[in-house]
Amino acid sequence: MKNHSQFKISLFVLLVFVFLASYGAECRATPPSLQFEPLVFHPPKGKRTELSNGMVLYLLEDHELPLVNISFMVQAGSIYEPADKIGLASMTGALMRTGGAGEKSGDEVDEELEFLSASISIWIGGEAGGGGLNVLTKDFDQGLDLFSDILLHPKFSEEKLQLLKNQEVENIRRKNDNPSSIASREFLKLLYGTESPFARETTLDTISQIKRQDCIEYYSKYFHPDAIILGVAGDFKSEEVIQKLENKFKNWEKRKEMLPEFTPIHPEYKSTVNLVEKDLTQSSIRIGHLGIKQNNPDYFPLSVMNDILGGQAFSSRLFQEVRTRKGLAYSVGTVFNPGNIEVGTFFAFSQTMSKNTIQSVSAILENIKKMRDEPVSAEELRLAKDSFLNSFIFSFTNSAQIVSRQISLEYYHLPEDFMEQFRDHVSKVTREDVLRVAQKYIHPDGMTLLIVGKSSQFDHSLSIFGPVNTIPLTNP
């Protein structure tokens, strides 16, 4: 069965709060109608400070296990790379990690880390870069030396760059091997546009354009202390660690330019029907359109709406209707991904045998429309709210997670009490709110439909939904 994550941001915030007992008594089937004592919990929170070079620090001591975890985010991302060098950002991150640092070659860094049972990661994704260090307390200094060398003095070995390029070429060669990855990739391109920084993909051509010098320039442009938010969680003493980080990074220069602004996307909701032809016994389905940004106040009622429609296993309407009642799919649901820098996406997904393709699409569309036509039942809303509120503590089970969330909130300019706001808003959401946001943000007549499958085996022609655009699969 699937795991569904509630939201994109990874962790949390602090305030003292009290969980009220929930509604064992009203829930008719709870075996001997159980009542629960209120659960009182004061989740810890990382303390915020800044280094003299502008680097933001969050520190949360937790001495349960002899481990220290550092994580950071840096203002970078593949959306800032030149269009003729797609792949440069992620490759720069990977090369920082593998291409050697300070006096050491990449292989020496690997040997030293793995001998210590420690790990360092550096990644650059779409809208952010980041990484971290995970090390046993006793090896903290040695781990920090390696980690800071990677951040300050990456060597960008030519040989390791060639390896990364060769591997990316092979990834491109293999990109059509699995139907669900074809569906995800092509669907994003349909929503944002093939050339959009939020959907474009690497090609043999863009990979061949990437040179060592490009990586060095990309790194020099984006990696600066005042572009970094760094968190430390685990078994350490704050005073000592602040001092160590201050010493390590004190000569690192602040950045010269800020990130470019993007021309805002104004979503258009057009109904389109798209097909990727592949010889399969099961169709992968995506139906949806562009969504909202995380800072939209309607994010909270929309989350509840999405949970009820298809965001949750077992209890969502799509799971109940399409999977349990009709037996049409194993995997079915909706994803509501708010964007940060740009609008995110809203879509339903499913995988169903070829001869049930059209029937499944219809069943999904019917459920989407129903969300806008009538309010959800009081019971459905109660379930979605209880579930959210009662599982809230699971966002505070581990200090490294708590700190990562704080970093993420600050990175995306979200309020530091975002999670409390989330909780408080959810507890106040009404049936009318859910209906209002469904009507405002879901556009059943402006959906992009994509099927990856074997159209000769479908139950009806796909054209009953509109003129079909066939997307060719290019094999590099």
Partner 1 sequence: MGKRLARILFVMVLLSPMFESRAEDLSSRVIKHSFKNGLVLLMVERHASPTVSFQITYKAGSVNEIPGITGIAHLYEHMAFKGTEKIGTKDYPSEKPVLESLDRTFAELKEERERGELGNAEKIKKLEATMDLLEKKESLYSIPNEVGEIYRRNGATGFNASTGKDFTNYTVSLPSNRLSLWIALESDRMTHPVLREFYKEKQVVLEERRMRTENSPNGKLYEALMRTAFWVHPYGLPVIGWSQDVQSLSRKQTEDFFKTYYGINNIVISIVGDIQPDQVIREMEKTFGRIPSRPVPPAVPFVEPRQEGERRTHIEFDANPLIYIGYHRPAVSHADSIIFDIIDSLLSDGRTSRMYKHLVVQKQIAQSIGTDSATPGGKYPSLFFITAAPRAPHSLEELEQGIDDEISLLKTEPVSSTEIQKLKNQFDGSLIRGMESNSGLAGQLSYYEALTGDWKYLLRIRKELENVKAEDIIRVAQKYFVNANKVVATLSKTGSNEKVQNEKP
- How near is the Cβ of 145 to partner 1 at its closest, in Å? 17
Task: Note whether 25 binds partner 1 by CB under 8 A.
Answer: no
Q: What's the rounded Cα separation, in Å, for the pair 113 and 173?
A: 32
Span of 47-55, 206-214, 317-325, 458-466 interacting with partner 1 by CB under 8 A: 317-325
- How near is the Cβ of 87 to partner 1 at its closest, in Å? 16
- How near is the Cβ of 359 to partner 1 at its closest, in Å? 12
- Cβ neighbours for 21, distance < 8 A, ≥ 6 positions apart: 35, 36, 37, 38
- How near is the Cβ of 3 to partner 1 at its closest, in Å? 8
Which residues, 379 to 438, sit near partner 1 by CB under 8 A? 383, 386-387, 389-394, 396-398
The residue (of 268 and 314) whose beta carbon lies closer to partner 1 is: 314
Contact between 406 and 11 (Cβ < 8 Å) = yes
Which residue from 20, 25, 39, 464 is in contact with partner 1, where contact means CB under 8 A?
39
Task: Note whether 136 binds partner 1 by CB under 8 A.
Answer: yes
- DSSP 3-state of 464: helix
Which residue from 60, 67, 376, 437 is in contact with partner 1, where contact means CB under 8 A?
67
Handedness of CA 195, 196, 199, 205 (dihedral sign): positive
Q: What's the rounded Cα separation, in Å, for the pair 288 and 444?
A: 8
Which residue from 330, 373, 378, 430 is in contact with partner 1, where contact means CB under 8 A?
330
Contact between 116 and 76 (Cβ < 8 Å) = no
- How near is the Cβ of 259 to partner 1 at its closest, in Å? 32
- How near is the Cβ of 472 to partner 1 at its closest, in Å? 15
Neighbour tally for 360: CB within 10 Å: 24
Which residues, 150 to 189, sit near partner 1 by CB under 8 A? 163, 166-167, 170-171, 173-174, 176-179
- How near is the Cβ of 63 to partner 1 at its closest, in Å? 6
Taking residues 45 to 64 in sequence order and writing x for each that binds partner 1 by CB under 8 A, - otherwise, the string is ------------------xx
Which residues, 253 to 282, sit near partner 1 by CB under 8 A? 278-282
Which residue from 212, 221, 326, 372 is in contact with partner 1, where contact means CB under 8 A?
326
The residue (of 26 and 432) whose beta carbon lies closer to partner 1 is: 26
Which residues, 339 to 378, sit near partner 1 by CB under 8 A? 351-353
Which residues, 84 to 113, sit near partner 1 by CB under 8 A? 98, 107, 110-111
- DSSP β-bridge partners for residue 133: 70, 120
DSSP letter at 293 equals: B
Question: What are the contacts of 181-187 at 24+ separation with CB within 8 A?
Answer: 182/276, 182/278, 182/284, 182/452, 182/473, 183/276, 183/284, 183/285, 183/286, 183/349, 183/450, 183/452, 184/286, 186/274, 186/276, 186/450, 186/452, 186/471, 187/286, 187/288, 187/347, 187/448, 187/450
- Cβ neighbours for 406, distance < 8 A, ≥ 6 positions apart: 11, 12, 13, 45, 46, 48, 58, 231, 416
> Binding-site residue total for partner 1 (CB under 8 A)?
82
Task: Note whether 142 binds partner 1 by CB under 8 A.
Answer: no
- How near is the Cβ of 238 to partner 1 at its closest, in Å? 16
Instruction: Provide the token pair at 121.
Output: 């990661």
What value does the CA radius of gyration of the chain take, rounded to a whole number of Å? 24
Q: What's the rounded Cα separation, in Å, for the pair 455 and 18?
A: 54
Which residue from 157, 331, 337, 457 is in contact with partner 1, where contact means CB under 8 A?
331
Contact between 403 and 58 (Cβ < 8 Å) = yes
Span of 208-216, 246-254, 322-330, 363-371 interacting with partner 1 by CB under 8 A: 322-330
The residue (of 29 and 258) whose beta carbon lies closer to partner 1 is: 29
Nearest partner of 148 among 236, 48, 10, 55, judged by Cα: 55
Which residue from 15, 20, 25, 36 is in contact with partner 1, where contact means CB under 8 A?
36
- How near is the Cβ of 474 to partner 1 at its closest, in Å? 14
The residue (of 117 and 439) whose beta carbon lies closer to partner 1 is: 117
Which residue from 11, 91, 94, 328 is in contact with partner 1, where contact means CB under 8 A?
328
Q: What's the rounded Cα separation, in Å, for the pair 308 and 435?
A: 12
- How near is the Cβ of 48 to partner 1 at its closest, in Å? 22
